[in-house]
Amino acid sequence: MDRRGISGRIAVVTGAAHGIGSAVVHALGELGATVAAVDVDADALAEVVATGAGEGRHVLACPADVADAAAVESVVERVESELGPVDLLVNVAGILRPGTVQDLAEDDWHRTFAVNTTGVFHLCRSVSKRMIPRRRGSIVTVGSNAAGVPRHGMAAYGASKAASTLFTKSLGLELAEHGIRCNVVSPGSTDTPMQHRLWDERGAEPVIAGSLETYKTGIPLRKLATAEDVAEAVVFLLSDQAGHITMHDLYVDGGATLRA
């Protein structure tokens, strides 16, 4: 018995070529969903699709830049035409360009918001207008615990994630009357290539321990999240098991933000 209600559903996952996005594609595929995998990195996306096919999962590669509204609309039209009505949307695509406000280039600021925030808007607008007449659907945006806690050198990233978080909750309020749920999963430090690019020769140790110098707490569980940890939270909120949950922000950070 499919208690999660995922089997047979059509899902769109952005940022699907790496890290958390790839893990979400894998998790949904294992549960029997057909997944349209969206990413700007066409080569890495092809590998994700090939891996899924080798394991008997149905994954369609849809190379696109989520910051491009026309490209997003084209992808969603293709998915609905070739696969069927989209039931599930997961916004994972994101970039991190660290730097203090004084040092951050304008292009880094604009590109961060173009992907992390405007990209979420593009996908949600395109998919939700098709979900509304069908009166069903579930949307999850992968945010960040940096959206709720100030971080040194991460003003652009945190602000973009805060914007996409509140956008998703507001969308959830608008779509509730149509039976469509919208939720957020906010990871902390996760063992992905994005995280690795922030490390020095000490690796994950300072991330787990925290830093008094930058006023950053450590991780009480004393370990990084895995991409699979985050994917499982995403799948839960997408699923029928979370059928009465909407506009929720689920932190998956090992307690790092000490949330009440």
Residues serving a catalytic function are 157
How far, CA to CA in Å, does 182 sit from each of 58, 78, 90, 124, 170? 25, 23, 10, 10, 9
As a whole number of angstroms, the distance between CA 192 and CA 187 comes to 11
As a whole number of angstroms, the distance between CA 101 and CA 80 comes to 41
For residue 32, give every residue at least 6 positions away whose Cβ sits within 8 Å of its Cβ, in sequence order, or none: 2, 6, 7, 8, 9
For residue 102, give every residue at least 6 positions away whose Cβ sits within 8 Å of its Cβ, in sequence order, or none: none
As a whole number of angstroms, the distance between CA 95 and CA 50 comes to 24
Strand partners, 142: 185
Pair 145, 161: CB distance under 8 Å: no
As a whole number of angstroms, the distance between CA 84 and CA 134 comes to 12
Edge-first strand listing for the sheet containing 138-142:
59-63, 34-39, 10-14, 88-91, 138-142, 181-187, 249-252
Residue 177 burial by Cβ neighbours in a 10 Å radius (0-12, 13-18, 19+): exposed
How far, CA to CA in Å, does 77 sit from each of 13, 72, 104, 148, 235? 15, 9, 36, 34, 24
